[in-house]
Structure 1
């Protein structure tokens, strides 16, 4: 099967590891180990040296040797290594670039200086160069929250050390003790990921859109660790709301994957009712919406039945949180961070979400042979639709109002969503803004927004999409790949708000992957009509593109599609679907 880890393979030129044996060594019994890790490791050599403290040839010698392909094995040859020498007042350091954001740590292979004692070093991992160069202080916002990224440790004489577990692209290595010599043979990144096929793909006449699709897919792939995380640097948690765009990307690119069910079940199991998942009422609603969409794409009825008792009770809880045909949800009232200071927008968004959730609940209860509960959900939704709250200028709220059907999508688009281009967008709710614009028929406007907003991160050196972003940040900013020169803004260290101020800002956040599934659904044109993809509609919207081609994963196999715009503007399509998938055009 053709596999391509997109830019990771191209830029870093790594090979896939061999499949490991499923058998335990004979000294273990089957119940000895609690869990088998589904991830693999790949070791990556750096692609460049960004910075070094000394270029005189005294403190740092032959640094370029670190760019050689490594083996991870110390040896007695005593050549092709980098030497770092400290004095009483000089402590050499350098910054390595591994070419692309990854999740994992670093492997250091040492040689054999005369002094056999372990050598103390400082490691700083960074999603940007500025983060790798930073101090943990109250100025830049750099932290060791959630994952250790600033570490003082020791490495052995003539040996190997593997250190770190975080999200990064850059690593700074410094000697800590004076009068020491570090002979560093190798410094390789340890890339931890799930070795899964990219079944869904997108390629068009616009390479910028192609790169955005691939970057969104890769962003989510990195977050498919033991559980489905929101970010690989922070918060490394199962945030249920954040998971919805991620799972839509997984459905569109990877197909069925055990990390999804595992994470959804973990959120359910640690949240006994009447508690809200993650303490946020909207996140319990997202759990319902995720199950509706997951069943639509995967058609796994036995798994859905495992949710039945909790689902029915959760829907009862939600219906109890209404008053006078309005949502009256308690718990943390939250859509996303940029809308968090607009209580009218939060109310409008939660009201719309309540309608969307009850509609989804009615669908699921019908499938699960719960006709009475399905009727209760439909009746409650009908009553809530009698009231239409004001979005109060919020694109987040306007998008949800349009998607819930209580505000015409064309009205929401012309009055709020399309106003001022990409201003007042967010990487999380940007997905729902794109969905609402598609519902309004504004496919070209949505595509332009994808190019400008998500493409703006690429212009700043991103290889994964960020927790939040504002195009205004880029006006005088240096990219994340370089030391920030005087007179320029630090795109990572100078911006951000709420929980993502300055360098604490996550530059790999799965909730930002919305364009990937959006392009698959609306430009390649694939939407699911029957659960498990037994029936799909292929209805492309090419906008200003001349052609688009790609693949879409289903439980029956991969659908292959190509659309070309003819001279008269009509679309010529070629569709190859596996047996079991009915295609409606």
Structure 2
């Protein structure tokens, strides 16, 4: 590549290394009542020695600025430049620059900038030089060194060091405070996240802060999940900002007799993502649900998509997979998705499932092709595909004699938080996710022109799908049974495999109707009480045009949390539980997270299944808009895409749409002949009408909702 094609310099590193390093840093901030609580799984590290090179061609010599994180050497055409140069002269003509960096503590990173040669993804990187030298000193002509395009993010100045990255903060005041002799109880008005700041601290002694997502938790000094203890020494009107970021709405600050604290505020910490999506409708409660869902996702969008801000603050694959989908309808922030997927995978060799959870490994595979469908970002698939292959090899090596996945020692078969849910034997839900993972592998293999492996993954997927139906499908129950134990199917039916099979489109129309009637709308089948699996259950129902029913479910379930004063959505909600027991989980009175990413799914449901917008070709080159009011009088919203937005307004009599890019198909039903002055409306199957949406144009359809 000619150096003239590049103009913008950015810090670069071995791809994936910065994401792994940053996730390690973030996930090890968790505390439990003041004690360090690290993740439960293996953490990988960055490569400590990385070689970068770039071939360039210049018409005249240029001076290049060099900034490095680590110890380094610079070579031009194999000849070393002495010392640690801050700049280097690049000669005219065709040449190669190599920079090798060692850094044990932080990620080896590089910034180069001249008029025509800049550090960017066109540079090649490797973590091992497979070279050798003979007795004469000659370097080998052959090498097995694998070079890959360098990774980067948005550090575009030589002085902006990647290792110094931190999220921005802004001051925020409490909305109320209750001051007593030796304590202050403050309320910030809603769930929030950041660093507490104590104002005008005087004296010598101890201060203890008890954090609470509820007032009960902040007052429960023996059982609240989070606390901080600090010692002050002869302070005179000092302001103290706590070192650790915490989640809270309420803070109970208690201090010794000879200490005083005048006031309390906070530094709110946030990810500077741009909210591009929106939704409004005729139902005020649904509008509030959407707003609270958006705020919930915002709080859990940090350096990565995390599960919840109070307790774990870790990157869990099952939680993150849902955050990606919500993100596509709220921010469309691709970098956070890529960072999270990369951090979750870690490095070879694979020694366990993702987060040690079998189903979380499968969500990881599925999310990658789904990312491509939304973004069209083939470069990320190219970067990730080798680690997809080694991860899949690990899974294939753990199949039993029937070719199925069963929990082995060290595997956590999670599925969902549900009382009495059996994880024994070969669970149908795991086979279903495994099958979808193999299909995703085949699609990515085709993108990488790896026909041999694409054929293998497709063959494995078809075989597993056939076993899914022959081993688990029970025609009398109109459903997949939950599991097989010792080669025999159990009689138990649960919702999980059945609802996923609907939106995976594994079932015939008749089978889908049977599942809907005998499983999803059957109160005798164990109900789901987590927003985590409500997400998928409601998606299955929406995929079967049950928007009116789902709207009421959203109002009952998420509205139920709002009725209890929720300012963010919870990890779990059971309407039957009353009093302070609503805060309990994991055997702890305040163990439940009241701000959990998987609680924000209305963003996704309302964008995809009510506004009805979804990509049908990678990166929204093609898409459909199929609005469904579901009992609403009207609705309007914006769905972000890689190259602009799609706007939809829909009432019972008119649909208005416009899009900034791609080619769309608007599909709808009408009791009367619809009229559109901007395009030709065509009749389609099953009473639908369709018209083509071109970029940059606005369309108004007058119709009568069927």
Q: TM-score, normalised by structure 2?
A: 0.65
Conserved 8 A contact 1:288-1:361:
yes
What displacement does 1:36 show?
Answer: 4.3
Partner of 1:182 in structure 2?
Answer: 260
Partner of 1:39 in structure 2?
Answer: 167
Instruction: Give 2:621's match in structure 1, choosing from 534, 539, 546.
Output: 534
Describe the shift of the 1:573–1:272 C-alpha distance in structure 2 as closer, same or farther (beyond 3 A).
farther
Conserved 8 A contact 1:427-1:512:
yes
CA distance in 2, matches of 1:329, 1:310: 22
What displacement does 1:406 show?
Answer: 4.3
The DSSP-based 3-state class of the residue aligned with 1:294 is helix
Question: 1:31-90 deviations in whole A, cap 9, x for unaligned?
Answer: 7944343522121111123x55xxxxxxx4xxxxxxxxxxxxxxxxxxxxxxxx4xxxxx
What displacement does 1:298 show?
Answer: 1.3
Question: 1:167-220 deviations in whole A, cap 9, x for unaligned?
Answer: 111111122x22x35250x31122100122210111111121122222222212
2:660 aligned with 1:575: no
CA distance in 2, matches of 1:384, 1:198: 40
Instruction: Give 1:230's match in structure 2, choosing from 263, 284, 307.
Output: 307
The DSSP-based 3-state class of the residue aligned with 1:42 is strand
Partner of 2:558 in structure 1?
Answer: 454
CA distance in 1, matches of 2:536, 2:595: 19
CA distance in 2, matches of 1:328, 1:346: 5
CA distance in 1, matches of 2:663, 2:231: 55
Describe the shift of the 1:183–1:233 C-alpha distance in structure 2 as closer, same or farther (beyond 3 A).
closer
Conserved 8 A contact 2:188-2:249:
yes
Conserved 8 A contact 2:206-2:229:
no
What displacement does 1:460 show?
Answer: 1.1
Partner of 2:185 in structure 1?
Answer: 95
Conserved 8 A contact 2:199-2:237:
yes
Partner of 1:208 in structure 2?
Answer: 285
Partner of 2:647 in structure 1?
Answer: 560
2:176 aligned with 1:48: yes
Which one has more relative contact order, counting CA pairs under 8 Å at least 6 apart? 1
What displacement does 1:311 show?
Answer: 1.4
What displacement does 1:417 show?
Answer: 1.7
Instruction: Give 1:161's match in structure 2, choosing from 230, 240, 243.
Output: 240
Instruction: Give 1:377's match in structure 2, choosing from 429, 434, 457.
Output: 457
Question: 1:367-423 deviations in whole A, cap 9, x for unaligned?
Answer: 221222222222222222223320333223332233344453322222122233994
Deviates more, 1:404-413 or 1:424-433: 404-413
Conserved 8 A contact 1:104-1:190:
yes
Deviates more, 1:101-110 or 1:381-390: 381-390
Conserved 8 A contact 1:562-1:575:
yes
Conserved 8 A contact 2:404-2:426:
no
CA distance in 2, matches of 1:125, 1:136: 12
Q: Which has the larger radius of gyration?
A: 2
* Greater strand share, structure number: 2
Instruction: Give 1:419's match in structure 2, choosing from 514, 522, 535.
Output: 522
Partner of 1:64 in structure 2?
Answer: none
What displacement does 1:559 show?
Answer: 1.5
Partner of 2:356 in structure 1?
Answer: 279
CA distance in 1, matches of 2:378, 2:158: 30
What displacement does 1:127 show?
Answer: 0.8
The DSSP-based 3-state class of the residue aligned with 1:307 is helix
Partner of 1:14 in structure 2?
Answer: none
Conserved 8 A contact 2:573-2:582:
no
Deviates more, 1:575-584 or 1:458-467: 575-584
What displacement does 1:584 show?
Answer: 4.3
Structure 2 gaps, min length 5? 1-66, 69-85, 87-156, 473-480, 483-491, 668-706
CA distance in 2, matches of 1:271, 1:199: 36
CA distance in 2, matches of 1:405, 1:322: 26
* Greater helix share, structure number: 1
The DSSP-based 3-state class of the residue aligned with 2:638 is strand
Partner of 1:151 in structure 2?
Answer: 229
Deviates more, 1:339-348 or 1:122-131: 339-348
Describe the shift of the 1:364–1:316 C-alpha distance in structure 2 as closer, same or farther (beyond 3 A).
same
CA distance in 1, matches of 2:450, 2:633: 47
Conserved 8 A contact 2:320-2:340:
no
Conserved 8 A contact 2:213-2:248:
yes
Structure 1 gaps, min length 5? 1-22, 53-59, 61-84, 86-91, 478-488, 567-571
